Amino acid sequence: MGAGFHALQAQFGFRIHSAHSVSGGDIAHAFSLETDKGLFFLKEYRGGEGFKMAACEAEGLRALAGAKALRTPQVAGVLQHGQSGLLLLEYLPAQTASRADYEQLGRGLAALHNHRVVHFGWETDNYIGRLPQRNEPGPAWPEFYANHRLLPQYEMALGRGFLSTQDVPDAGLLLRAIRALAPETEPSLLHGDLWAGNFLVAAPGEACLIDPAVYAGDAEVDLAMTRLFGGFPEPFYAAYHELRPKKPGMERRMLLYQLYYLLVHLNLFGAGYAVSVRRLGRELFGL
- Which of 188, 268, 256 minimizes the C-alpha distance to 227? 256
Please list the pLDDT of the chain residue by residue as tens digits (287 residues).
566 788 888 888 899 999 898 876 668 889 999 999 889 999 999 988 999 999 999 999 999 999 999 999 999 999 998 888 999 999 998 899 999 999 999 999 999 999 889 999 999 999 999 999 999 999 999 999 999 999 999 999 999 999 999 999 999 999 999 999 998 899 999 999 999 999 999 988 899 999 999 999 999 999 999 999 989 999 999 999 999 999 999 999 999 999 999 999 999 999 999 999 999 999 999 87
> Residue 124 in contact with residue 137, Cβ under 8 Å?
no
Angle at 272 between CA 270 and CA 273, to 5 degrees: 85
Q: What's residue 203's pLDDT?
A: 85
Helix (H) or strand (E) holding 16: strand 16-22
**Do 270 and 159 meet the contact criterion of CB atoms below 8 Å apart?**
no
Per residue in 98-139, pLDDT (tens digit) is 999 999 999 999 999 998 899 999 999 999 999 999 999 999
Domains of the chain: 2-90 (3.30.200.20), 99-285 (3.90.1200.10)
Helix H or strand E encompassing 174:
helix 171-181
Q: Which H/E stretch holds residue 250?
A: helix 250-269
Give the per-residue pLDDT at 83. Answer: 85
- The Cα 54–Cα 51 span in angstroms is 5
Contact 285, 169 (CB under 8 A): yes
CA 95 to chain centre: 21
* Residue type (1 letter), 130: R
Judge contact between 4 and 44, C-beta under 8 A. yes
Question: CA-to-CA distance for 158 and 146, rounded, in angstroms?
Answer: 16
Active-site positions read: 193
| Cβ neighbours of 258 (radius 10 Å) | 19
